[in-house]
Chains A and B, each alone.
With several copies, the nearest count.
Chain A
Amino acid sequence: MSMVNVDIEASMLVRVQRENFSVDAEIDRVRAQSKRIGGIATFLGTARDRSKGRDVSGISFEHYEGMAQKTLREIRERALKDFDIIEVLILHRYGEIDIGENIVLIVVGAEHRADAFQACRWCIDELKQITPIWKREQTPQGEEWVEEHP
């Protein structure tokens, strides 16, 4: 029974979902893990209206169901192992996203803030490099799949 609970909990800490999310609610999931947490570093990626000098009116994300989640779980586990931190949450949206809306969220809770910042930054850099997620931008010239470099 406790194993089931742990799995449910871990599955909430790494998600790829269509719906928007509340940063407060996601921070609370991390905070609930330990009263030792003193610093929470967060990265929230949002949809910009410009990309490579072009206007962008909307974007959408496609992910490889299963492999994307597996990759994000591995990033979370490596962060927990390699940094002096307490908890990590990684969340990425897919589907249509309006300009200004949330795309991706990393939340890292640690006793000390330097560790939280370092791990948070590592997670978003790593996510961009190894997670099978693709982006399509709507521009005045039409829609286009984007080859983004980290």
Chain B
Amino acid sequence: MTLHVKLFGMLKSLVGDQTDVTVALTDGNQVRDLIVLFQAQYPKIGELLLNKKVIVSINHEIAHPETTISSTDEIAFLPPFAGGSGQLRST
């Protein structure tokens, strides 16, 4: 099955400013398999996924390594969030 993975923030600059990438998965694949696939095809993104600097969401929910992916899922890679304004305190 073919899926589009949405990319946000700095991740886009790692794939030539694309907003998503297309990946081929097989039935029963889990999020861990997706990460392995990115380690091979997009090593920089793969490393960020492995270090949990970037997290995976499926259908607008945070996913876990063992979450199974189905063909209708909306998958996105989320770099560290930076909404709001400023910081809590001076650093």
Number of interface residues of A (CB under 8 A): 42
Q: Confirm or deny: B4 has a beta carbon within 8 angstroms of a beta carbon on chain A.
A: no
A134 and B9 in contact, given A63-B83, A127-B83 (Cβ under 8 angstroms): yes
Choice from A63, A70, A130 contacting B60 with Cβ under 8 Å: A70
Nearest-neighbor residue (CB-CB) of A72 within chain B: B83
Residues on the A chain within 8 Å of B9, using CB:
62, 134, 136, 145
Number of interface residues of B (CB under 8 A): 21
Verify A64–B82 contact, CB threshold 8 A. no
Verify A47–B85 contact, CB threshold 8 A. yes
CB of A49 to closest CB in B, whole Å: 11
Nearest-neighbor residue (CB-CB) of B79 within chain A: A134
A114 and B76 in contact, given A128-B81, A131-B83 (Cβ under 8 angstroms): no
Verify A135–B88 contact, CB threshold 8 A. no
B1-16 toward A: CB 8 Å interface, digit per residue (1/0)?
A: 0000010111001000
Verify B57–A148 contact, CB threshold 8 A. no
The distance in angstroms between the C-alpha atoms of A103 and B82, with both chains bound, is 12
B61-91 contacts to A (CB < 8 Å): 76, 78-90
Verify B57–A67 contact, CB threshold 8 A. yes
Choice from A38, A61, A64, A115 contacting B78 with Cβ under 8 Å: A64
A112-129 contacts to B (CB < 8 Å): 112-115, 124-125, 127-129
B-to-A contact residues, CB < 8 Å: 6, 8-10, 13, 57, 60, 76, 78-90
A-to-B contact residues, CB < 8 Å: 38-39, 45-48, 51, 61-64, 66-68, 70, 84, 92, 103-104, 111-115, 124-125, 127-136, 145-150
What would 9 more interface pairs be, CB under 8 Å, given A132-B81, A135-B82?
A45-B84, A45-B86, A68-B83, A84-B90, A112-B86, A134-B79, A145-B13, A147-B82, A148-B82
